[in-house]
């Protein structure tokens, strides 16, 4: 018998949710075959079979929360056999509680139609099991409030006085706070852990930082001409297409070196100035927005930047990003122009103090040397944390990016 273990989830990630089991109890499995998909706050992880054999046990159902090292189930080792006709369902089965285990009439659980006695220790998540064991609690005396009649960590803490027990008023919330009734033509879908994390982090960013956005516009004529002139030779020489992101990344890095506050973060009462330039690139996926990080962008050529961003984008769309690729960015670039956005105010990717928003390139009439000419123009938006970045620094940073894009030779000559 081989255990299926929850892998290490990465720095600052303490738990994951069971997103989907690919096999049912009794199904034949092969070594390294995907058995279950876990969803963390940052990425999805696939857990594979430790050996050939058949899936003998599933300890956590879809939607349950697990911690690193938790045993998700087990595989009976041996030759891969055909699936038995009477295989058990994938979801963990909870045996009907025997009458002696039913709550006493005077207990906290009495009269609760949703109550189900825990099916032994396996029915408790690792965090709940730890609280129950350390405090010598009786699981049958704890009123469960979980969505599947399971005991949550809050329930266990409430049982020992670590959290306030729900009051009768809390048990019957006002109609205004209750979920509204669904319309026949509507569909209610539970938010994924990733989407919940995106929502929480964006709101935390708004609540924490003193966010302000400054705008400018850039004439893309020079960059577009340079790109059109060398794109074929560039692709032939480097095996990757020449896009606009490499020019923007180069310009951003040069501006960050001149205005270090935009590349810093606040830690308590300290300011941490970062002498490395790890640029986050926002990527939209079918599961939500992720921001993989291009490491040491200041040391990369245009070709290196294009290859790096291309690889990160592909990994994001395929769901293959690692936790390391999502951590440690110092500044973020987001390109709403790929979707047709004309202007926006991007939200900071905490704890960073700056984010640059690129937008759609639009042909507009511009006054140049006293004459009206048509030029390809793009609006730029820099959102910044006003607690650490002054308005003068923010405007200077954005003007510097504009100068380097409108005259790319400046970057080559360090001007």
Is the same domain home to 235 and 382? Answer: yes
Over residues 256-264, the mean pLDDT reads: 95
Residue 379 inside a domain? The answer is yes
Distance, CA of 321 to CA of 339 (rounded, Å): 23
Is the same domain home to 48 and 138? Answer: no
Q: Which of 167, 188, 206 is the last residue of a domain?
A: 167
Q: Where residue 59 sits, what CATH number does that domain have?
A: 2.40.50.100
When pLDDT is cut at 50, 70 and 90, the band that residue 356 belongs to is very high
Query: Using alpha carbons only, what angle is made at residue 86 by residues 82 and 90, rounded to the nearest 5 degrees?
Result: 90
Is the same domain home to 162 and 234? Answer: no
Residue 172 inside a domain? The answer is no
Q: Which of 167, 188, 219 is the last residue of a domain?
A: 167
Residue 368 inside a domain? The answer is yes
Is the same domain home to 255 and 301? Answer: yes
Range of the domain at 56: 2-77
Q: Which helix (H) or strand (E) holds 289?
A: strand 288-290
Given a cut of 80, whether residue 352 has pLDDT beyond it is yes
Neighbours of 17 (CB within 10 A): 20
Over residues 97-113, the mean pLDDT reads: 41
Q: Where residue 155 sits, what CATH number does that domain have?
A: 4.10.320.10
Instruction: Show which residues are catalytic.
Output: 386, 390
Would the pTM count as exceeding 0.85?
Answer: no
Query: How many domains would you assign to the chain?
Result: 3
Is the same domain home to 24 and 129? Answer: no
pLDDT at 295: 95
Residue 240 inside a domain? The answer is yes
pLDDT at 413: 63
Residue 394 inside a domain? The answer is yes
Query: Using alpha carbons only, what angle is made at residue 193 by residues 73 and 210, rounded to the nearest 5 degrees?
Result: 145
Is the same domain home to 381 and 288? Answer: yes
Lowest mean pLDDT among 133-142, 260-269, 400-409: 133-142
Is the same domain home to 219 and 333? Answer: yes
Given a cut of 60, whether residue 326 has pLDDT beyond it is yes
Over residues 366-371, the mean pLDDT reads: 93
Residue 18 inside a domain? The answer is yes
Distance, CA of 126 to CA of 103 (rounded, Å): 23
Is the same domain home to 368 and 297? Answer: yes
Residue 220 inside a domain? The answer is yes
pLDDT at 223: 94
Selected residue with higher pLDDT from 286 and 33: 33
- Alpha carbons within 13 angstroms on the beta-carbon side of residue 3 total 9
Is the same domain home to 262 and 361? Answer: yes
- If you average pLDDT over every residue of the chain, what do you get? 81
Q: Is residue 92 a contact partner of residue 149, using CB atoms and an 8 Å limit?
A: no
Residue 32 DSSP one-character state:
T
Q: Is residue 130 a contact partner of residue 160, using CB atoms and an 8 Å limit?
A: no
pLDDT at 294: 95
Is the same domain home to 71 and 108? Answer: no
Is the same domain home to 236 and 303? Answer: yes
Selected residue with higher pLDDT from 12 and 252: 252
* pLDDT, tens digit (0-9, with 9 covering 90-100), for 176-228: 456 778 888 888 888 877 778 778 888 888 888 899 999 999 999 999 999 99
Distance, CA of 217 to CA of 203 (rounded, Å): 28
Given a cut of 50, whether residue 86 has pLDDT beyond it is no
Q: Where residue 245 sits, what CATH number does that domain have?
A: 3.30.559.10
pLDDT at 201: 81
Is the same domain home to 69 and 118? Answer: no
Point out which residues pair with 283 in neighbouring strands.
Answer: 290
Nearest Cα to Cα of residue 359 among 336, 383, 334, 332: 336
pLDDT at 50: 86
Residue 87 inside a domain? The answer is no
* pLDDT, tens digit (0-9, with 9 covering 90-100), for 369-386: 999 999 999 999 999 999
Strand order in the sheet with 65-66: 44-48, 34-39, 16-21, 65-66
């Amino acid at each position: 018998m081989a255990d299926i273990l929850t892998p290490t989830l990465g720095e600052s990630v303490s738990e994951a949710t069971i997103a989907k089991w690919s096999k049912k109890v009794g199904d034949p499995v092969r070594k390294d075959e995907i058995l279950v998909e876990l969803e963390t706050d940052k990425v999805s992880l696939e857990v594979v079979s430790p050996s050939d054999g058949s899936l003998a046990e599933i300890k956590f159902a879809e939607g349950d929360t697990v911690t690193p090292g938790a045993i998700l189930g087990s595989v009976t080792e041996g030759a891969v056999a055909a699936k038995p006709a009477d295989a058990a369902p994938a979801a963990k089965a909870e045996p009907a509680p025997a009458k002696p285990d039913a709550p006493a009439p005077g207990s906290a659980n009495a009269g609760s139609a949703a109550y189900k006695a825990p099916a032994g220790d396996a029915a408790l998540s690792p965090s709940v099991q730890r609280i129950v064991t350390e405090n010598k609690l009786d699981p049958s005396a704890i009123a469960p409030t979980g969505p599947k009649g399971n005991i949550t960590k809050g329930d266990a803490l409430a049982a020992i006085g670590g959290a306030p027990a729900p009051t009768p008023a809390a048990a019957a919330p006002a109609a205004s706070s209750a979920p509204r009734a669904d319309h026949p033509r509507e569909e209610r879908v539970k938010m994924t852990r990733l989407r919940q994390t995106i929502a929480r982090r964006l709101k935390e960013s708004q609540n924490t930082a003193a966010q302000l956005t400054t705008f400018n516009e850039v004439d893309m004529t020079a960059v577009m001409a340079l790109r059109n002139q060398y794109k074929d030779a560039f692709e032939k020489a480097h095996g990757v297409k020449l896009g606009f992101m490499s020019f923007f990344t180069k310009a951003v890095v040069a501006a960050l070196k001149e205005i270090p506050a935009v590349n810093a973060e606040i830690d308590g009462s300290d300011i941490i100035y970062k002498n490395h330039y790890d640029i986050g690139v926002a990527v939209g996926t079918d599961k939500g927005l992720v921001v993989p990080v291009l490491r040491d962008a200041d040391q990369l050529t245009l070709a290196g930047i294009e290859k790096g961003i291309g690889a990160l984008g592909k990994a994001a769309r395929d769901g293959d990003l690692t936790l390391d690729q999502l951590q440690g960015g110092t500044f973020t670039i987001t390109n709403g122009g790929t979707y047709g956005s004309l202007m926006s105010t991007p939200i900071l990717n905490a704890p960073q103090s700056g984010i640059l928003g690129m937008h759609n390139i639009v042909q507009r009439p511009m006054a140049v040397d006293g004459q009206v000419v048509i030029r390809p123009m793009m609006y730029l938006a820099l959102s910044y944390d006003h607690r650490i970045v002054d308005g003068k620094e923010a405007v200077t940073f954005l003007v510097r990016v504009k100068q380097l894009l409108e005259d790319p030779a400046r970057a080559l000559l360090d001007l």
